[in-house]
């Protein structure tokens, strides 16, 4: 606690809210696709369910930027968490009373879409509030701490906990997630943030155009956003069917699947703890290239993986190197973008980076369905596709990506 960052009470409150939120998300992230497989075994329908919470980024990412610059950051986060908690309780009801079949799948997808719509505004605001809480020089350390809490709670502690909760009832992990969101809202409600300039125009479209023009006029940030879009598209291609891959190719139950995701989290946690040290030695650009190379190595390994040990090693590698991308790009945006424009420009960037995700989810399910004549290898096709795309992305970044 001697570090000035940790003497900052408001950062500690934001960090505590992040811990609760990420723990709930880690439990939800395992329970949600597992619940979908209890309702249907159709890979296209499972891909559709995975697509539903990502689809709001296509429709609402840009408007969320204007709203973020107009609204009180702290109040927005509190209200968003409480609203998401209410929607998660609706999933509890579905888990308790729904029967397998198309109607239940569509109900689950609808709730996921509504929750994802609120999450768009919450997540954009969450990245915007940090400069209101810590000094610019502390952004890398603060982002590394938050990213590490994400990996520790959301992917290391949350997934095995989800496996244990699912063993009791599929409804229990969703109730737990709702409780974590409420606790997160309580911590954020106590946070005090610095006064900030709010120059968002009264009219919606001029405010949006200002954010679009600022990002599009910045070559490095524009390229980062486009590369992130491809990165996330490929990521969702594999993760939309990961639960089926774990069940049918690796023969894992819910608890074992949670343990596999904990290995992923361990890689992310260690990557977060060592990212500052690595980036000092590698530099930001090389750190980004190493992140993409780690993704290619991981997905290439998963094409042929037949045991949880090999799959776990691949996921560890991807998570470790992936943290370099997160720490570099988030800190870069927070330092580069003027405060009055941060919400709008950040939203445009996230629109470029996140709106391809739902289509990656749908493609992942489609690849498995189309590959059905190949038998069990059909579940490996998304990894082959992602590896090819990752190699092309790495070549592009090595040639064109430069940071100012």
End-to-end CA distance of the chain: 34
Closest CA to 85 of 183, 163, 151: 183
Structure tokens at 170: 């599929």
Local structure of residue 133 (DSSP, 8 states):
T
For the chain, what are the domain ranges?
4-188+203-400
Residue 22: phi and psi, rounded to 5, are -70, -35
How confident is the prediction for the chain on average, in pLDDT? 88
Structure tokens at 101: 């079949």
Whole-angstrom CA distances from 155 to 2, 36, 191 are: 28, 20, 26
Check residue 396 and give its pLDDT: 94
Inter-residue contact 146 to 21 (CB < 8 Å): no
Count the Cβ atoms, other than its own, within 10 Å of residue 248. 16
Check residue 250 and give its pLDDT: 93
Residue 202: pLDDT over 60: no
Residue 2: pLDDT over 80: no
Residue 370: pLDDT over 90: yes
- C-alpha span between 234 and 237 (Å, rounded): 5
| Residue range 54-96, pLDDT digits in tens | 899 888 888 877 777 777 888 899 999 999 999 999 999 999 9
Confidence of residue 112 (pLDDT cuts 50, 70, 90): very high
Question: What angle (nearest 5°) sits at the alpha carbon of residue 341, between those of residues 336 and 344?
Answer: 110
Residue 201: pLDDT over 60: no
Percent of the chain residues topping a pLDDT of 70: 97
| Residue range 336-356, pLDDT digits in tens | 888 778 778 877 888 898 889
Specify the 3-state DSSP secondary structure of 298: helix
Helices 172-189 and 158-168: angle between axes, nearest 10 degrees:
130
Determine the average pLDDT of the residues in 297-307.
Answer: 94
Span 4-188+203-400 CATH architecture = Up-down Bundle (1.20)
Closest CA to 356 of 245, 221, 213, 227: 227
- C-alpha span between 387 and 381 (Å, rounded): 10
Whole-angstrom CA distances from 153 to 21, 150, 171, 312 are: 9, 6, 20, 18
Residue 197: pLDDT over 80: no
Check residue 145 and give its pLDDT: 83
Specify the 3-state DSSP secondary structure of 1: coil
Residue whose token pair is 């090819």: 388
Check residue 1 and give its pLDDT: 46
- The enclosing H or E element of 190 equals none
| Residue range 244-288, pLDDT digits in tens | 999 999 999 888 988 888 888 788 778 877 887 888 888 888 999
Count the Cβ atoms, other than its own, within 10 Å of residue 180. 26
Count the Cβ atoms, other than its own, within 10 Å of residue 214. 16
Residue 136: HSE in the Cβ half-sphere, 13 Å Cα cutoff: 8
Structure tokens at 152: 């520790």
- C-alpha span between 105 and 186 (Å, rounded): 32
Check residue 200 and give its pLDDT: 52
Confidence of residue 29 (pLDDT cuts 50, 70, 90): confident
Check residue 132 and give its pLDDT: 81
Determine the distance from the C-alpha atom of residue 220 to the mean position of all C-alpha atoms in its chain, rounded to a whole number: 22
Determine the average pLDDT of the residues in 297-308.
Answer: 94
Residue whose token pair is 């610019």: 136
- C-alpha span between 323 and 9 (Å, rounded): 26
- C-alpha span between 210 and 201 (Å, rounded): 9
Residue 198: pLDDT over 70: no
Check residue 209 and give its pLDDT: 84
Structure tokens at 272: 């977060």
Check residue 354 and give its pLDDT: 83
pTM of the model: 0.75
Percent of the chain residues topping a pLDDT of 90: 48
């Amino acid at each position: 606690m001697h570090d000035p960052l940790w003497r900052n009470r408001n950062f500690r409150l934001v960090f505590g809210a992040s811990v609760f939120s990420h723990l709930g998300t880690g439990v939800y992230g395992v329970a949600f696709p597992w619940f979908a497989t209890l309702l249907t075994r159709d890979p296209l329908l499972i891909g559709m369910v995975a697509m539903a919470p990502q689809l709001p980024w296509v429709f609402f990412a840009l408007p969320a930027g204007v709203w973020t610059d107009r609204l009180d950051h702290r109040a927005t986060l509190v209200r968003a968490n409480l609203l998401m908690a209410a929607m998660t309780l609706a999933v509890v009801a579905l888990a308790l009373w729904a029967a397998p079949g198309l109607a239940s799948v569509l109900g689950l997808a609808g709730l996921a879409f509504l929750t994802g719509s609120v999450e768009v505004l919450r997540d954009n605001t969450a990245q915007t509030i940090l400069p209101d809480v810590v000094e610019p020089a502390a952004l890398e350390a603060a982002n590394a701490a938050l990213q590490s809490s994400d990996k520790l709670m959301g992917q290391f502690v949350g997934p095995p906990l989800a496996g244990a909760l699912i063993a009791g009832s599929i409804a229990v992990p969703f109730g737990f997630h709702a409780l974590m969101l409420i606790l997160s809202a309580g911590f954020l409600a106590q946070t005090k943030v610095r006064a900030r300039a709010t120059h968002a125009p009264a009219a919606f479209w001029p405010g949006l155009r200002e954010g679009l023009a600022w990002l599009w006029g910045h070559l490095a940030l524009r390229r980062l956003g486009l590369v992130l879009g491809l990165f996330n598209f490929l990521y969702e291609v594999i993760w939309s069917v990961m639960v089926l891959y774990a069940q049918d190719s690796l023969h894992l139950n819910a608890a074992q699947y949670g343990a596999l995701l904990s290995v992923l989290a361990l890689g992310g946690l260690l990557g977060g703890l060592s990212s500052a040290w690595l980036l000092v030695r590698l530099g930001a650009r090389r750190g980004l290239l190493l992140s993409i190379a780690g993704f290619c190595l991981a997905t290439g390994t998963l094409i042929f993986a037949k045991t949880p040990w090999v799959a776990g090693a691949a996921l560890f590698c991807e998570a470790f190197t992936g943290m370099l991308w997160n720490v570099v790009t988030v800190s870069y945006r927070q330092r580069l973008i003027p405060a009055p424009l941060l919400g709008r420009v950040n939203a445009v960037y996230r629109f470029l980076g996140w709106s391809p995700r739902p289509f990656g989810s749908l493609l992942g399910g489609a690849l498995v369905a189309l590959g059905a004549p190949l038998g069990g290898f059909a579940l490996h096709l998304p990894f082959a596709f992602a590896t090819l795309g990752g190699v092309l992305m790495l070549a592009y970044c090595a040639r064109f990506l430069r940071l100012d």
